[in-house]
Amino acid sequence: METLSVALTVAVLVLAVVALAALVVVVRRSGGQLMRLSAPSPEQIAEAHAELEQARREAAEIRAKAEADAGEQQRRSEALTESATRLRRETEEEGQVLKNELKEHRTDLERRESRLSEREQRLDEEARRQVERARKLAETETQLADRRVELDQVEEERMAILSRVAGLTADQAKAELVKEIENQAKREAALIVREIESEARREGEKRACKIVTLAVQRVATEQTAESVVSVLHLPGDEMKGRIIGREGRNIRAFESTTGVNLIIDDTPEAVLLSCFDPVRRETARLTLEKLVLDGRIHPQRIEEAYERSKAEVQELCGRAGEDALVELGITDMHPELVMLLGQLRYRTSYGQNVLKHLIESAHIAGIMAAELRLNSDLVKRCALLHDIGKALTHEVEGSHALIGAEIARRYGEHEDVVHAIEAHHNEVEVRTVEAVLTQAADAISGSRPGARRESLEAYVKRLERLEEIAQSYEGVDKVFAMQAGREIRVMVRPDAVDDIQAQVIARDVAKQVEEELTYPGQIRITVVRESRATEFAR
């Protein structure tokens, strides 16, 4: 740093000397000119002054430049000094960091060497233990071999003693043992087979209940409201006289032509048509309705209106049969069968419309067939046609199941369909799954709540008899008929009836109900035995 300062000072002095020398040269030049001129002119004087002034300016510029150079050199010197100081400080810091890292590495190496030495000691100990264990295993194997030899000798002696005592050789004893094991295996196999059969039966009943429940839940139909009497409203009571006619001529002609009883009583603006043949009753109702609208009522008009109404009912029957097929998605059926299906629109069974019952049964059977991965179209066809014989039961004697089977066979239905129709009331032994599903669908549709009507008196008597049957057993405390007679709750005294006896009572009640009563569907018998233990804390 001192050398740099001296250099800068020398440079400044050199620049100053150069500037003075230049000034002296200028002055001398000017003085020489002055000396050569004896009488300088004002222009020369001014020029001399200008040159002098210019020389001064140049000298000043040189001096300023020298000073600037000196300042720049000073700044560079200071920057160099600062850089040297910073480099020295950074070098010292880096050296300290390197010293610290070297110290840490030395410490880590020492720690690793310590762990390695400990691990080597542990491995040496483990090797010594393995050697000791191998030596002990070898000794144990030697002892086991000796013991095995001793056991073989003992076994031979024991077999010899057993042979002498039992009088059997080893082969004979082995044969007896094999025979005993075979018998035991057969008994165990029989038990396993019985258990599997029981499990399959329980699983089958559970799955059947599930399938039937799903089918019932997915079918929603109306309750029955059918009757054997039709009511026709009249525009006025004076129309009753015209219907009766002079001396009852019109009413007699109407009844003889239609085969329906016409009841005219004090009911205002209404007459009743009574007939157990619903097709004839509907034909008569349409005939009377046409006569009332026309206003002209006499025997000839009655016959004409009856013929037109008869043709209209036939058309309605055909349309009803076609609508049923469209609803179920069934095609390719003989037109006569379609017409017979349509006629069932006007027939009832215990108050349930037969055509609606067939459609409902077909839906239920199709759902159950789909659950069982069967041909749902074939099962639907069986269920739809199973009561087709009811359309002719008043014309042909015999069971409607057998009549329906004969009709289906005559019109080219499949043999499985014919068998399902003739077997749905067990008049023919059931041989196919389709027949079983048809029976189940028929029972579900006929026994569901609200499907069929029965008289109040018969209903009350059945409920009373159910309670009497259950009450007649010993140990029964209370009996309740529930769910419209489809379930019986039997309360027994726990001190008189145990759990096994409760099961016996439930089975006996169910058997007696099956033997004595006639009912749709099934009746559940539930025996309830409640045990209570009561103590008092004092």
- Please write the tens of the pLDDT for every residue from 455-513: 555 667 777 888 888 888 988 988 888 766 778 889 898 888 888 888 888 889 988 88
So what's the pLDDT on residue 25?
Answer: 55
Least confident of 137-146, 272-281, 425-434, 503-512: 272-281
Between CA 361 and CA 207 the distance in angstroms is 20
Among 31-35, 152-156, 219-223, top mean pLDDT goes to 152-156
- The pLDDT confidence band at residue 449, using thresholds 50, 70 and 90, is low
**What does pLDDT average to over the chain?**
79
Among 160-164, 201-205, 233-237, 481-485, top mean pLDDT goes to 233-237
So what's the pLDDT on residue 36?
Answer: 46
So what's the pLDDT on residue 27?
Answer: 53
Q: How many CA atoms lie within 13 A of 295 on its CB side?
A: 3
Between CA 442 and CA 520 the distance in angstroms is 11
Between CA 337 and CA 62 the distance in angstroms is 136
Average pLDDT over residues 307-316: 86
Write the class of the CATH domain 229-447. mainly alpha
Residue position matching structure tokens 């030495």: 117
Q: Residues 398, 325, 359, 347: what is their CA dihedral angle, to the nearest 10 degrees?
A: -50
- The pLDDT confidence band at residue 394, using thresholds 50, 70 and 90, is low
The pLDDT > 70 percentage for the chain reads: 80
Side by side, which strands form the sheet with 487-492? 476-482, 487-492, 524-529
So what's the pLDDT on residue 514?
Answer: 86
Output helix, strand, coil percentages for the chain, rounded to the nearest 5. 70, 5, 20
Question: Does the pLDDT of residue 70 top 80, yes or no?
Answer: no
Beta bridge partners of 525: 488
Average pLDDT over residues 416-440: 86
Question: Does the pLDDT of residue 431 top 80, yes or no?
Answer: yes
Between CA 522 and CA 517 the distance in angstroms is 11
Nearest by Cα to 66 from 135, 132, 10:
10
Q: Which positions ≥6 away from 65 have C-beta within 8 Å? A: 15
First to last CA, the chain: 111
487-492 and 352-353 beta bridge pairing: unpaired
Q: Which positions ≥6 away from 109 have C-beta within 8 Å? A: none
**Residues 468-507 as b or e (16 or more Cβ within 10 Å = b):** ebbeebebbeebebeeebbebbbbbebeebeeebbeebbe
So what's the pLDDT on residue 459?
Answer: 65
Q: How far is CA 337 from the centre of its chain?
A: 41
**What count of other Cβ atoms lies within 10 Å of the Cβ of residue 466?**
25
| Residue range 414-424, pLDDT digits in tens | 898 889 888 88
| Residue range 210-231, pLDDT digits in tens | 665 555 555 545 443 445 567 7
| Residue range 100-133, pLDDT digits in tens | 888 899 899 999 988 998 998 999 898 898 999 8
Question: Does the pLDDT of residue 32 top 80, yes or no?
Answer: no
So what's the pLDDT on residue 34?
Answer: 41
Between CA 241 and CA 151 the distance in angstroms is 121
Domains 229-447 and 456-529 share a fold: no
Domain boundaries, the chain: 2-157, 229-447, 456-529
Nearest by Cα to 419 from 379, 376, 459:
379
Between CA 506 and CA 488 the distance in angstroms is 10
Nearest by Cα to 448 from 412, 486, 499, 407:
486
- The pLDDT confidence band at residue 17, using thresholds 50, 70 and 90, is low
Between CA 256 and CA 267 the distance in angstroms is 23
Between CA 179 and CA 175 the distance in angstroms is 6
Q: How far is CA 438 from the centre of its chain?
A: 29
Which has more pLDDT, 6 or 89?
89
What is the fold of 456-529? Answer: Alpha-Beta Plaits (3.30.70)
So what's the pLDDT on residue 279?
Answer: 76
Q: How far is CA 87 from the centre of its chain?
A: 78
Radius of gyration over every alpha carbon of the chain, rounded to an integer in angstroms? 62
Phi, psi of 432 (to 5 degrees): -125, 160
Average pLDDT over residues 130-143: 89
Average pLDDT over residues 156-179: 73
Average pLDDT over residues 73-84: 84
